[in-house]
């Protein structure tokens, strides 16, 4: 389905969402943000004055991870790897784990206190053999905030591994799910034409084709529906294009 068709079908519903008063609107942050982005409003405009919603925050966290990966890749010089050293070992040897000992508060809170929600419970079990809750407790108890910085007070190999993974892994969950849409729909007052989540979800995904997200450093991420029907995004860390699938067509 093309974006114009999806928008036409969605318009009565999106109009109802955007017309809600503040209290009701605050209960459905994802639907509210999707309604704005689907309308074609440039996110660099007046909407940016309000606090970003869950969707923009998730996209921004993916962008920050790509920025970190791009920065590290730009510093690699495989000609300096010693004889017999594998590419994997050389890359690992270049990781600066000391950066996690003291980090900007805003960056830390974005990727380590909020960023865990981008990953599944299975992700934490696979990578750390711990639950999401256990990993969050580890981060919250090992780091303390001092003015505008977070500092590690209890450094361990596990702590450094967790922070490294949360900062650079691209094994993220889809950008949003039908279950989240269903949860917010249940908070809406009943009205004529209120759709079911199963019918609404694919329309909302399609409606984001062509939407742009502007980041604080001036770069823009453009969302689009690719040839396979996935919702994808082209990010530009250090102005280098990276494309990620954000919601698979078969999700």
Domain boundary residue among 168, 202, 227? Answer: 168
Summarised one tens digit per residue, pLDDT across range 92-108 is 788 889 999 999 999 99
Instruction: Please check whether residues 182 and 240 belong to one and the same domain.
Output: yes
Domain stops at, among 114, 138, 168: 168
The encoded tokens of residue 8 equal: 């036409």
- Give the pLDDT score at 21: 79
pLDDT above 70 coverage of the chain, percent:
94
| In a shared domain, residues 83 and 16 | no
Please tell me the total count of domains within the chain. 2
Is 181 in the same domain as 218?
A: yes
Domain range for 210 is 3-53+174-247
Give the neighbor-by-neighbor strand order of the sheet with 102-104: 102-104, 149-152, 143-146
Where does the pLDDT of residue 46 fall: very low under 50, low under 70, confident under 90, or very high at 90 and above?
A: very low
- Residues shown for the chain: 251
Q: Is there a single domain that holds both residue 200 and residue 120?
A: no
Residues 101 and 202 in one domain: no
Question: Of 143, 168, 193, which residue is a domain's last?
Answer: 168
* pLDDT at residue 48 is higher than 50: no
The confidence score (pLDDT) of residue 42 equals 47
For helices 178-185 and 197-207, what crossing angle results, to 10°?
120
Lowest mean pLDDT of 13-17, 21-25, 205-209, name the range: 21-25
Q: From residue 164, how far is each of 74, 108, 117 by CA, in Å? A: 18, 12, 16
- Rounded to an integer, the average pLDDT of 161-187 is 95
Question: The dihedral of CA 165, 168, 171, 173: what is its sign?
Answer: positive
Please report the pLDDT score of residue 78 as a whole number.
Answer: 75
Q: What is the pLDDT of residues 113-128, one digit of tens each?
A: 999 999 999 999 999 9
Claim to verify: residue 160 and residue 225 sit in the same structural domain: no
- Mean pLDDT, residues 70-74 taken together: 91
159 and 82, same domain (yes or no): yes
Mean pLDDT, rounded, for 30-35? 93
Residue 47's pLDDT is what? 43
| Whether residues 151 and 65 fall in one domain | yes
185-212 pLDDT, tens digit each: 988 877 666 788 899 999 999 999 999 9
Same domain? For 70 and 161 the reply is yes
CA distance linking residue 59 with residue 121, whole number of Å: 20
Label residue 40 by pLDDT band (50, 70, 90): low
Token pair 């991870």 is at which residue?
65
Q: What is the mean pLDDT of residues 216-240?
A: 96
- DSSP 8-state symbol, 97: G
pLDDT at 23 over 80: no
Residues 100, 196 within the same domain: no
In a shared domain, residues 48 and 61: no
Considering the domain architecture, whether residues 19 and 114 belong to the same structural domain is answered as: no
């Amino acid at each position: 389905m093309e974006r114009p068709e999806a928008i036409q079908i969605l318009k009565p519903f999106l109009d109802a969402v955007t017309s809600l008063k503040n209290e009701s609107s605050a209960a459905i942050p994802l639907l509210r943000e999707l309604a704005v982005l689907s309308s074609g409003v440039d996110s660099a405009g007046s909407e940016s004055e309000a606090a970003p919603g869950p969707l923009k925050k998730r996209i921004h966290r993916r962008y920050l991870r790509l920025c970190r990966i791009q920065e590290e890749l730009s510093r690699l010089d495989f000609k300096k790897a010693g004889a017999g050293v594998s590419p994997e070992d050389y890359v690992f040897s270049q990781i600066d784990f000391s950066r996690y000992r003291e980090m900007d508060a805003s960056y830390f809170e974005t990727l380590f206190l909020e960023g865990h929600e981008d990953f599944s419970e299975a992700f934490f079990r696979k990578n750390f053999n711990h639950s999401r809750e256990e990993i969050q407790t580890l981060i919250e108890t090992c780091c303390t905030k001092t003015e505008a910085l977070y500092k590690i007070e209890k450094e361990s190999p596990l702590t450094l591994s967790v922070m490294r993974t949360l900062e650079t892994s691209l094994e993220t969950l889809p950008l949003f799910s039908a279950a989240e849409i269903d949860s917010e729909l249940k908070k809406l007052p009943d009205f004529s034409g209120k759709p079911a989540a199963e019918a609404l979800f694919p329309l909302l995904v399609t409606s984001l084709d062509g939407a742009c997200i502007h980041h604080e450093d001036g770069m823009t991420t453009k969302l689009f529906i690719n040839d396979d029907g996935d919702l994808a995004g082209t990010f530009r860390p250090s102005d280098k294009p990276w494309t990620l699938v954000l919601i698979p067509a078969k999700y």
